[in-house]
Structure 1
Amino acid sequence: MRGSPYIRPIEAECRAWEMRLKYAQGLVDEWVACQRTWLYLEPIFSSEDIMRQLPTEAQRFNGPAVQRRRRLWRKTLEDTHKDPNFMAQADPDKKLEEKFKAANQKLEEIQKGM
């Protein structure tokens, strides 16, 4: 649309939507990456045997930093369930993309430690 010569009257609105959609795409990418890594690690660290073999990583996975990420994940899912309009979650003011990026970094550290 932005390449159209008829965009002038709505150019500001189009730019705003473009920014919001780019943010939404980044959020989806981080959200899915977090889910993928979490679903991989959770069954591993649910096993008592592995927790004994990898005590440092188990402590990181069950530590307060990851627990905050778990609450972030659950709250985001609850909010999405209450208001299924994705664009409500993709509001840049909520800073969900940044929070999921931080969560992914922590989960990657744990995964690399294994």
Structure 2
Amino acid sequence: MTNRAMKDRHWEKIGDITGHIFNIENENFSLKHVMEAPILQFKGLVEDACIGAQEEREMEMKLKQLQLDWSTVPLLFAHFKNRGEILLREAETMETMASLDKSILVVQAMIDNKYHGFFKKELNTRLGDYTKTRGILEMWLQTQTLWMDMEAVFVGGDIARNIPLEAKRFNNSNRNWMKIMQGARENPFVISFCVSDEFMAQILPHLKEQLELCEKAVNEFVEQQEIAAAEAAAAEAAKEAAEKF
């Protein structure tokens, strides 16, 4: 009961258990006053309250460390052609995702601790933030790969002239991509940018869907061109064969 982890709320809990008021703010408060309560009568429950205080202190320290660690983790950017830093660094972002996985496990372990009640709200918030950020980063990298592939097709490529509707779709997607990267550079901290509002959670799925439609149209066009080329080659071969006879 003399452990530094004991706070007012823990003394109040022991007071509720024993039916005794502990005036711990009194400068003369001592062991004598503690022993006035029926401590031994409720020994098991009192010990559990003291253990809970120590467990809570450890959780508090872990939560503070997580807050400190993640408050300074930045998004790292890479140059793309001559367009500036408009990509995430893939390797570093993957490392950040791995760190988030570890933090999620730490928070989940605290939630599984039976003494987590006092920190329940904060733990659930942290778990939600880390899980959401991890999911956003994963989708962000997937979308980035799609955007790079489609940028190669639609910026200065011949295919774009043959599928103008998809070229327009890509132009809109390109503007959204630039909006994302601009926002990220203005707020370049991982957790803060990904969870500060619903911007990323809303725009990324839509952008990924639009780029996937562009990719599908490009693949279909290329497939049609290959079929047409194969048919033309077959017709030419048949013509040459007919001329020999």
TM-score by length of structure 1 reads 0.80
- Residue 34 of structure 1 contacts residue 103 of structure 1 at CA under 8 Å; is this kept in 2? yes
CA displacement at 1:78 relative to structure 2: 2.5
CA distance in 2, matches of 1:57, 1:71: 14
> Which is worse superposed, 36-45 or 83-92?
83-92
Cα distance change on mapping 1:48 and 1:71 into 2, 3 Å: closer
Partner residue of 1:107 out of 211, 219, 222: 211
Partner of 1:2: 111
Distance 1:20 1:48, change over 3 A: closer
Determine which structure has the larger helix proportion and give its number. Answer: 1
Query: Amino acid of the residue matched to residue 25 of structure 1?
Result: R
Which is worse superposed, 73-82 or 97-106?
A: 73-82
Structure 1: gaps of 5 or more residues: none
Q: How many angstroms apart in 1 are the aligned matches of 2:123 and 2:168? A: 47
**Corresponding residue for residue 64 of structure 2:** none
Residue 52 of structure 1: aligned partner: 161
Query: How far 1:26 moved relative to its partner?
Result: 1.9
> Which residue is equivalent to 1:14?
123
TM-score normalized by the length of structure 2:
0.40
Q: Distance in 2 between matches of 1:70 and 1:56?
A: 14
Partner of 1:60, secondary structure, is: helix
Q: Which structure has the larger Rg? A: 2
Deviation of residue 92 (structure 1)? 5.6
User: Percent of counterpart pairs with the same letter?
Assistant: 24
Q: Is the 1:80–1:89 contact (alpha carbons within 8 Å) kept by the matching residues of 2?
A: yes
2:233 maps to what in 1?
Answer: none
> In angstroms, what is the RMSD of aligned CA positions?
2.0
